Amino acid sequence: MLPNINCLKSDKDFKKIFSGGKISENEYIKIKFLKNSNKPTRFGFIVSNKFEKRAAARNLIKRRLRAAARFLLKNIKPGFDIAVWPKAALSRVDYQKITDNFKSLLIKNDIFSI
């Protein structure tokens, strides 16, 4: 599980990201991110009903995305708020491919330090 300090929860924080953040995507994942004021990097995961009708399938995708974020957290630079949502193709890939795509997206946007 992702630590609570690294979770975006309030609607206010999501609205801030969506109003002023930068967007980036690859074939499986789309992120919108915004620099915060030197707080720890926080993630919010959005999997809507349009993505999958069954709640169990949506929760599985969120668990995999959270696990990938937790795995990469030690190398992620502090000071970002990141909203993450999957694309339809993500439901057909395994955890390793999710982690690799998430990592490449963070590297591309200079959020991940190697």
Residue 59, domain member (yes or no)? yes
Q: What is the pLDDT of residues 73-111, one digit of tens each?
A: 999 999 999 999 999 899 889 999 999 999 999 999 999
Residue 50, domain member (yes or no)? yes
Tally of structural domains, the chain: 1
Residue 13, domain member (yes or no)? yes
The CATH number of residue 95's host domain is: 3.30.230.10
In whole angstroms, give the CA distance from residue 10 to residue 96.
29
Residue 114, domain member (yes or no)? no
Residue 11, domain member (yes or no)? yes
Which amino acid, residue 21? Answer: G
**Concatenated DSSP letters of the chain:** ---GGGB---HHHHHHHHHH-EEEE-SSEEEEEEE-SSPPPEEEE---TTT-SSHHHHHHHHHHHHHHHHHHGGGBPSSEEEEEEE-GGGGGS-HHHHHHHHHHHHHHTT-B--
pLDDT at 39 over 90: no
Residue 68, domain member (yes or no)? yes
Mean pLDDT for the chain overall:
93
Give pTM, 2 decimals.
0.92
